[in-house]
Amino acid sequence: MSGDRPGGRTPGGKTHEVIQPRNKLREMVGGKKPLGGDVLRKAETAAKKVQDKTDYTGHAQTNLTRLMVAYDRAQGAERAEALHDMFEIAHDMRGEGGSFGFPLVTQIGDILCKHLTALKSPEALELPIVKLHIDALKVVINQRLRGEGDDTAKQVVDGLARIALKPR
């Protein structure tokens, strides 16, 4: 480090030294060349195959059960801890939904996360709003609603956003 040198300066007289770490991944795929469209298409095709073969609904059902348990706990003395758990679960579902062809799960999870983070305190939690999100997630997962959904689904998501994200 430059601080270990006499006078704390590098040979060029600078007071610090920037060390760039090796980018092993870039070295493995061939340097700084941009990936061509063919490589990207192959990657997208491979991702789609994995998406189609994966039964996300089983995993989502587990997360949904965990969300309902946290919701039940939020009705009692464990509200702050349950609120944290609900956020973590909704955050996970938000990230996973789109990856497995369930963008409605992502959208509903995103709205719920934003609602929970906007709360000023655990006491400000409005349980009926959380319950609406849980019910919407149940429908999407149990009905295996892949894709963006129809007009009704879009209206439900819009309605959740209006209710959950309005200033309080």
Looking at the domain that runs over 53-165, which CATH code has it been given?
A: 1.20.120.160
The model's pTM: 0.72
**pLDDT of amino acid 15:** 76
**pLDDT of amino acid 108:** 98
Compute mean pLDDT per 10 residues along the chain, 168 residues long, and list them.
Answer: 49 74 73 69 80 83 97 94 97 93 96 96 94 97 92 95 91
Domain-wise residue ranges, the chain: 53-165
**How many other C-beta atoms can be found within 10 angstroms of the C-beta atom of residue 132?**
19
Coil, strand or helix at 65? helix
